[in-house]
Amino acid sequence: MININEYIDRVCEEFNDYVSNSPKLCDINIDFSAGKIPDYNDTNVQQAYLLRYAYGYAFEYKVMYNVLFGNYEYSDNISVLSIGCGCMIDYWSLTRALRQKTWEDCIIDYIGIDSVGWEYCFESEITDNIRFIQGDAVAVLENVPSISRDVFFFPKSISEFSHDDLERIGNSIGAKNQNDLFHLLISVRANEYSMHLDTKRVKKLISAISSHGYVTSDDPDMYWRFTHDGTNDDKKIRNTDSEFKHPSKAYSLMNTLNTKCEFYISNGVNCNSECKDRLTRNVMVNVDAISYKILTFRRGVK
């Protein structure tokens, strides 16, 4: 399977082809403030989003699986439902975590659900069973007669669901999952305010699942953060996992993206004072943006 730096370089090359024509970049709006969601149906928005976040998210999801595999063995097979899977970065991370555990022979049964048909989806390993369903995750789960999954994964997607959505998703998981034990892996936003909102969503999900006889002893208010000694070098993902090389091409392009806009090229300034901050937010290369929750559920046993 392609490594993460090759993947990012491929996206970078195609996005660079687009910006080299001096387009108007106002529509490349990766803004999550006040509950906003970017227009992922736009291929160029997808490219900008992936160049900014794919590297960091791939590392974060690999760390999440490493933590899970430190406590539970899935050396033969594992089944995953990824809710809001995007281009299936979490699938890539799963394959890498399994390889790190020398569980390369583990067969993955992965279903990804997303409302958007993403470009740049990771390709399946030949032995794995990978399915992508484009649609509303709430409706998809309510319409299936049963589910059998070891892991339900929310890859930075839980904030995109309302409390009502999550209650319905939780009811579907709790009522239909055939497994006596399963895990929720949830990547949450790192800043304290957003994390508070995401935690409230997690609690709504837990409450719905628990109403169907599942219990968890894990604290929904607890989350995992990646610690470091505070030095700049120690914060770098590349210094934590040698598989991740610094994404220099993406970093260079995204840090100067505001200068590629047609208005800037013609006038030497951007058309809006917010353009530079909005277009040149740093590529996620540090571990301190990582924050996630892992909860294990058992049927009727604490």
The pLDDT of residue 301 is 61
Does the model's pTM come out above 0.95?
A: no
The pLDDT of residue 138 is 97
Q: Where does the chain show beta strands of DSSP type E?
A: 77-83, 107-114, 129-134, 151-154, 181-187, 214-215, 224-225, 291-299
The rounded distance, in Å, linking the Cα atoms of 245 and 166 is: 36
Amino acid code (one letter) for 290: I
- Give residues with Cβ within 8 angstroms of 252, minimum separation 6: none
The pLDDT of residue 229 is 61
* Local confidence pLDDT in tens for the 302 residues of the chain: 899 999 999 999 999 999 888 888 877 877 665 566 778 889 999 999 999 999 999 999 999 999 999 999 999 999 999 999 999 999 999 999 999 999 989 999 999 999 999 999 999 998 999 999 999 999 999 999 999 999 999 999 998 999 999 999 999 999 999 999 999 999 988 777 788 888 899 999 999 999 999 999 999 888 887 765 656 556 899 999 999 999 999 999 998 888 888 888 888 888 887 778 778 877 899 988 889 999 999 997 65
How many CA atoms does the CB half-sphere of 2 hold within 13 Å?
16
Q: Backbone phi, then psi, for 31, in 5-degree steps?
A: -130, 120
Domain ranges in the chain? 58-226+287-299
Which tokens is 47 given?
């490219």
CATH number for the domain whose boundaries are 58-226+287-299: 3.40.50.150
The pLDDT of residue 32 is 62
Which tokens is 205 given?
């999900």
- The answer to whether residues 245 and 13 touch, using CB atoms and an 8 Å cutoff, is no
The pLDDT of residue 64 is 96
The dihedral formed by the CA atoms of 54, 57, 58 and 64, expressed in degrees to the nearest 10: -170
- Structure letter (DSSP) for residue 109: E
Which tokens is 286 given?
């540090």
**Are β-strands 151-154 and 181-187 bridged in parallel, bridged antiparallel, or unpaired?**
parallel
- Structure letter (DSSP) for residue 245: -
The pLDDT of residue 115 is 95
β-bridge partners, 152: 81, 184
Rounded to a whole number of angstroms, the distance between the first and last alpha carbons of the chain is: 39
Length of the chain as a residue count? 302
The pLDDT of residue 227 is 66
